[in-house]
Amino acid sequence: MLAPPHPDDAQRLQELASYDILDTGREADFDAIVSLAARICDVPVALISFVDSDRQWFKARVGFDRPETGLEESICSHALHQPDILEITDTRDDPRTVDNPLCVADDSMRFYAGAPMITAAGVTLGTLCVLDRRPRELTELQRDTLTVLSRQVVHLLEGRRNLRYAEMQRKEIDHRVKNSLQSIASYARLLSSDTDSEEARYVLSVLRGRIETVAALHEALYKTSASSEIDLGAYLRTVADLLGESCPENVAIHIEAPEAYVQSPTATACAVIMNEVVANAIKHAFPDGRDGEIRIEASRTDTCYRLNLADNGVGIDGKSSAGLGLRIIDAAVAQIGGKVEVLPQDGPGHAIRVSLPLD
């Protein structure tokens, strides 16, 4: 006997679709529930069954080979019409199942019990059901356990949906942040091209560098998905490429940075340090348009990541070394529990080493 349509089937199917569960692959959490249900109820067959518009589809199954059946074989569709367990002790004696193809063959299903999977909105998506090839009854403990397990299925579904919604929101925020950062950087670039003030161009160049550094960090963090750790070496190489785009033609940036996974605050601090060193070198180390090079060389041990930043310019005088840029570097190093030191140079130029701990 085909079950009558659910009175609110359109709403029910819409709710089912919102979970994006149909035709998904096997998942250990759902498999564990049907395995436990079969063992506790001492039956050969257990299913997590979702009743669709023209079929019932099984997210997890024990003792049943087919991934879905048509509604003409669905006992679960009858369970949609009641708020508690549907138990049929002998399918050949119940008018709802007496002509069901699953129940009339020689090796047919003679017993069925299905606990409805009811969402927080009060919508029944299907059942967690157990079946046997002989007539029988569940004990009170088995019925209670089946109900609890059906609620656990709904909790898993809610968790999956919440994660999916969170990912969608994260993508939307990512899109807006990237657009905003690009707009600000473009505006700074436009202002820089329109001003005759060398000081203003320098400030705007530093501003654009910092914005692009933040944008690169944002992109790196987005690619790590749920993890907040990023590859510092890859990130610093990206930042160096961005800084190179804003360098004058007479100044080249070279970087060597090995892989090291760190938390985002550490990556941010290192990027700030690089940005300030490059900005200071561009402003002070290469006057009169002379050719120059800024080298960034990183190395690592099991406990430490070292960042050497050097230029072959004219050096930085005492006034410049006490400026805002180097105070920012000191603050960034302190933020990550690191150490900064000025390195001796055999010839002209300026070099510092930043050492930071690796957890």
Q: Is the dihedral of CA 136, 141, 145, 147 positive or negative?
A: positive
Phi first, then psi: give them for residue 252, nearest 5 degrees: -115, 145
Token couple for 68: 């879905």
Residue 51 within any structural domain of the chain: yes
Residue 49 within any structural domain of the chain: yes
Using the structure block, give the residue that is written with the tokens 């929101």: 169
17 & 155 share domain? yes
Token couple for 206: 């530093």
**CA separation, residue 243 to residues 138, 157, 217, 255, 310 (Å):** 71, 46, 14, 11, 15
235 & 99 share domain? no
Residue 192 within any structural domain of the chain: no
Q: Assess whether pLDDT exceeds 90 at residue 264.
A: no
222 close to 238: Cβ distance less than 8 angstroms: no
CATH code, domain with 92: 3.30.450.40
Phi first, then psi: give them for residue 166, nearest 5 degrees: -65, -40
248 & 348 share domain? yes
Residue 285 within any structural domain of the chain: yes
- Please identify, among 112, 131, 162, the residue that sits at the C-terminal boundary of a domain: 162
pLDDT tens sequence across 3-53: 888 888 899 999 999 999 999 999 999 999 999 999 999 999 999 999 999
**DSSP letters spanning 299-357:** EE-SSEEEEEEEE-SS---HHHHTSHHHHHHHHHHHHTT-EEEEPP-SSSSEEEEEEEE
DSSP bridge pairs for 342: 352
Report which of 295, 293, 329, 324 is spatially closest to residue 309, judged by C-alpha positions: 295
Of 47 and 335, more confident: 47
Query: How much is the average pLDDT of 147-160?
Result: 94
Query: How much is the average pLDDT of 157-172?
Result: 80
Please report, as a single letter, which amino acid is at residue 121: A
Token couple for 69: 């059946």
Q: Assess whether pLDDT exceeds 60 at residue 225.
A: no
Residue 148 within any structural domain of the chain: yes
Cα–Cα distance for residue pair 341/329, rounded to 1 Å: 11
234 & 139 share domain? no
Task: Look up the pTM and report it.
Answer: 0.57
Which domain covers residue 295, as residue numbers? 226-357
The pLDDT of residue 226 is: 46
What is the tally of structural domains in the chain? 2
14 & 158 share domain? yes
- Label residue 145 by pLDDT band (50, 70, 90): very high
Using the structure block, give the residue that is written with the tokens 């669905």: 74
Lowest mean pLDDT among 37-51, 212-226, 231-245: 212-226
- Please identify, among 143, 162, 181, the residue that sits at the C-terminal boundary of a domain: 162
The pLDDT of residue 89 is: 96
Q: Is the dihedral of CA 321, 323, 329, 332 positive or negative?
A: positive
122 & 244 share domain? no
Please report, as a single letter, which amino acid is at residue 27: E
103 & 249 share domain? no
Residue 219 within any structural domain of the chain: no
Neighbour-count burial of 23, counting CB atoms closer than 10 A to its CB (0-12 exposed, 13-18 middle, 19+ buried): exposed
% of the chain at pLDDT higher than 90: 42
CATH code, domain with 268: 3.30.565.10
Mean pLDDT score across all residues of the chain: 85
Residue 264 within any structural domain of the chain: yes
- Label residue 213 by pLDDT band (50, 70, 90): low
The pLDDT of residue 154 is: 95
145 close to 51: Cβ distance less than 8 angstroms: no
154 & 249 share domain? no
Please report, as a single letter, which amino acid is at residue 66: R
Residue 191 Cα to chain centre, angstroms: 37
The pLDDT of residue 197 is: 78
Residue 1 within any structural domain of the chain: no
Q: Assess whether pLDDT exceeds 60 at residue 224.
A: no
- Please identify, among 117, 145, 162, the residue that sits at the C-terminal boundary of a domain: 162
Q: Assess whether pLDDT exceeds 60 at residue 87.
A: yes
Choose the most confident range, by mean pLDDT, from 58-72, 222-236, 237-251, 257-271.
58-72
- Label residue 324 by pLDDT band (50, 70, 90): low
231 & 320 share domain? yes
The pLDDT of residue 4 is: 86
Query: How much is the average pLDDT of 287-309?
Result: 87
The pLDDT of residue 223 is: 59
Lowest mean pLDDT among 119-128, 238-247, 332-341: 238-247
Ramachandran bin of 76, using left for φ above 0, alpha for ψ from -120 to 50, beta for the remaining angles: alpha
